Structure 1
């Protein structure tokens, strides 16, 4: 008799974490299925809903933060959650991925939070900055990998929105004289499976691994930090999450509860992969059984190879299939404004660059470092300041450290470098505005 169950991992982007969970399910003797664009179908006929592939449980790994239409993905996850038991239910993920909703959900609880202010009126938001001292954190309510987060001076003007997303002020929590650092505590089913300390890269204060931060494993997690992380994940209602904590002079504070936290940095720091623990929870939720010793053994490796049920050359997912042109309509945002412009794609440039006038108009900054760029006339290269901007391209959002330059003599105020173009295919024959419009019928 076959007692195995099937676990569907829902993810529409090319996710190493998804592959690792599917592989862990298979290694535990059950069937793992990657639910993605080229195989997922729900059919309602005669009042009966049928889902293909037909799985027993769904593990939600939809990445919402980088898309301009997160409600579409939430609706998809909600649809499946009505048909199958679902880990990281969409209503709880909604609370977690909106950072201010996380804060209001945890207010007046045992979880300590940095002070924060969200105001929809620009004057009110700027008036509130004074109570935060000389520096304050300004961040979008939805963001990931440190994107949409700035440390600004009290006299800098900000808007209630960055692009089409609300932004808020948050108290800056740090310890004097120390390199900025925080903790990422990974929790699965109410247990801590691993903890790492993250350090900000040089010339930055954000600790995200995606930005180049360093990591190290933590074996002696303070009890009060552990209790706070567990309480936050439980109160938000997530089955698995990365909980970020920062230590101030008055103790630990919660920064974020991430429902789609990555595995790579944690595994690098601790030698532990969360994937087998998530697989175990999914299998047991569906009524299956696993060998706990095998889970522990599998957690010592991070198998993010292509799962056996995925063909060698699958239909490209949305992220891989997006094609942009030699020139492209984009939205570019800073701390005080957003502009729709035409940008030029340059696969030869490693870094995106922005015109100084456009940067001033949108409030790009503050200057976080200097970078050297090649110049035909200067062999050693020219030094240019670097600022954070948010660029919306083809329905996705990217926060990049762009170099500032005077592009007033050039046709395009924004040059898209490989830091953005790596996510797309560039069709050099395509130009914005050159397509002929057809008459309406």
Structure 2
């Protein structure tokens, strides 16, 4: 162990005098998988630490990196494919890697998260992948005579859950970008059955933990569980060729654990995708096996701790996704709130700057809203969705964009999804809705000075 980690490491001993390992599970989103890994670490007799935006800090002290919380190893569960600033998030994992082992290291995650880049890496290593085509302009992607005739899959190069994926004709018009994401084309492989299916294999430390068939819902070809796909156990029936291909793909990309999507077409197994943060819910429903104890055990051993293999095996029969002991506060915490007035001084932050202003409390409003000009000044955005609200117009309804902002109220910062509207004719540029007022007591007699 290097001196940097030794100085920060907080250890404790068990009844046998062995040192407990502090396993950091790095995840900026709330998920069953994160909770399950933390709980598995605890069940294996070691100390889990959920590394979240709300509890993680780092600084350089005399040339030495310091972290709070301090951990001995990190299991990277960052959902970079959906993050607004994935490189910023992955930079946190890079920082930890300077002082301790990181499972699913950043370089491997970057190789795997770009689907075309991952396919190119796998193909160069001799792993079977479908033919694919990448171009950057409308003209270039229209000239795709490098692909065989027939339907192709048009998909974002970075994405998850089957979102924004479509089958198009071999010569139909397609865009090189969707929702600001680069796209590419991949040869469509037909499962050759009435109901489309593929195979998801979960690999941890070069071992197949479980495998399942994923069947597409009715009138759909995508098999993602998030889209309504159904699953069945395929672990015992998984051909050795497919198991070897899954392990090989995970190894080539440098991952410690991953969900590998396969399909057998015309007698040959192909790797469709390799998912760094594949979910556990579908796999557990199909197989009754949770990967969480395997990931927890690998992390403990990577930091020099000891793990009972029989205990790991016994824990795989349960997916314990209850809130872990010592979990960080995520979102608004009513117990930490107090009294706010009818008007309150707040700070609102976007991508460009932070501004202080006076906001009005409105317990009748579901959502916080922010004035258009203020949103523009602080650089609120990008737009994450829209919401339809009632209005006095002829149609009676109109849409407002939703943006994420940081808002400080009563000395507490929260991440808020606020609607943007023209409030120039109103007294206050920010209206506080129940999304931020929940748990506060609102004193309508209290006003702040607006001078």
- 1:140 maps to 156
What corresponds to 2:298 in structure 1? 281
CA distance in 2, matches of 1:342, 1:167: 20
Q: Give me the whole-angstrom Cα distance separating, in 2, the residues matched to 1:188 and 1:342.
A: 34
1:303-322 matches, within 5 Å, as 303-310=320-327, 314-316=329-331
Deviation at 1:133, TM superposition (A): 2.6
TM-score under structure 1 normalisation? 0.74
CA contact (8 A) 1:122 1:160 kept: yes
Is structure 2 residue 229 aligned with structure 1 residue 213?
yes
Q: Which residue of 2 aligns with 1:68?
A: 84
How well do the aligned residues superpose, as a CA RMSD in angstroms?
2.9
2:255 equivalent to 1:245 = no
Query: Equivalent residue of 1:301, what SS?
Result: coil
The one-character-per-residue Cα deviations of 1:177-214 (angstroms, maximum 9, x if unpaired) are: 43111110000000001001101111111111111100
Find the aligned partners of 1:70 and 1:342 in 2 and give their Cα distance. 16
- Secondary structure of 1:128's partner? coil
Q: Could you say which residue in structure 1 is the equivalent of 2:423?
A: 434
Matched, 1:85 2:127: no
Separation in structure 2 between the aligned mates of residue 131 and residue 85 of structure 1, nearest angstrom = 41
1:132 shift after superposition: 3.7
Match of residue 179 from structure 1: 195
- Residue 110 of structure 1 and its aligned partner are, at CA, apart by 3.2
* Shift, 1:129, TM fit: 6.1
1:112 aligns with one of 128, 134, 149? 128
| Deviant stretches of 4+, over 6 Å | 326-329, 340-343, 408-411, 413-416
Alpha-carbon distance in 2 for matches of 1:315, 1:250: 48
**Counterparts in 2 of 1:377-416, with a 5 A limit?**
412=398
Alpha-carbon distance, 1:221 to partner: 0.4
8 Å CA contact 2:191, 2:198 repeated in 1: no
Cα deviation, residue 425, structure 1: 6.8
CA contact (8 A) 1:342 1:432 kept: no
Cα distance in 1 for partners of 2:88, 2:187 equals 32
Separation in 2, partners of 1:343, 1:234: 38
| Superposition deviation, residue 271 in structure 1 | 0.3
Distance in 2 between residues matched to 1:29 and 1:118, nearest whole Å? 48
Structure 1 position 228, deviation (Å): 0.7
Displacement after TM superposition at 1:76 (Å): 1.6
Q: Following TM superposition, by how much is the alpha carbon of 1:409 offset from its aligned partner in structure 2, in angstroms?
A: 6.8
SS of 2:423's partner is coil
Identify the residue that residue 75 of structure 2 maps to in structure 1. Answer: 59
Distance 2:384 2:97 in 1: 40
TM-superposition CA deviations, 1:152-187 (whole Å, max 9, x none)? 123431121112211000000013343111110000
Alignment of 1:215-364 (within 5 A): 215-218=231-234, 219-310=236-327, 314-316=329-331, 344-346=386-388
Q: Which runs of 5+ in 1 are unaligned?
A: 330-339, 349-407, 417-423
1:271-313 per-position Cα deviation (integer Å, ceiling 9, x unaligned): 00000000110000010101111100000000010111126xx
Residue 36 in 1 paired to residue 89 in 2? no
Q: 1:111-143 deviations in whole A, cap 9, x for unaligned?
A: 111000001121121121684434210000000
Contact 2:132 2:147 in 1 (8 A): no
**Counterpart Cα distance in 2 of 1:347 and 1:237:** 48
Q: Secondary structure at the match of 2:48?
A: strand
Q: Is structure 2 residue 207 aligned with structure 1 residue 167?
A: no
| Structure 2 CA distance for partners of 1:412 and 1:158, relative to 1, 3 Å | farther
Q: Which residue of 2 aligns with 1:23?
A: 39
Change (3 A) 1:116 1:192: same
Whether the 8 Å contact between 1:328 and 1:345 is mirrored in structure 2 is no
Give the aligned length: 354
Aligned pair 1:100/2:116, yes or no?
yes
Q: Aligned-pair distance for 1:414?
A: 8.8
SS at match of 2:124: coil
In structure 1, what is the equivalent of residue 405 of structure 2?
A: none
Distance in 2 between the 1:155 and 1:413 partners? 36
- Which residue is 1:377 aligned to? none
Distance 1:174 1:324 in 2: 45
d(CA) in 2 for partners of 1:178, 1:287:
50
Instruction: Give the direction of change, closer, same or farther, for the CA distance of 1:102–1:343 in structure 2 (3 Å limit).
Output: closer
* Residues 135 and 176, structure 2, Cα contact 8 Å, conserved in 1: yes
Is residue 135–residue 153 contact of structure 1 (8 Å, CA) maintained in 2?
yes
Q: Secondary structure at the match of 1:94?
A: helix
CA distance in 1, matches of 2:389, 2:154: 31
Q: Gapped runs of 5+ residues in structure 2?
A: 1-16, 333-349, 351-365, 373-381, 403-414, 430-451
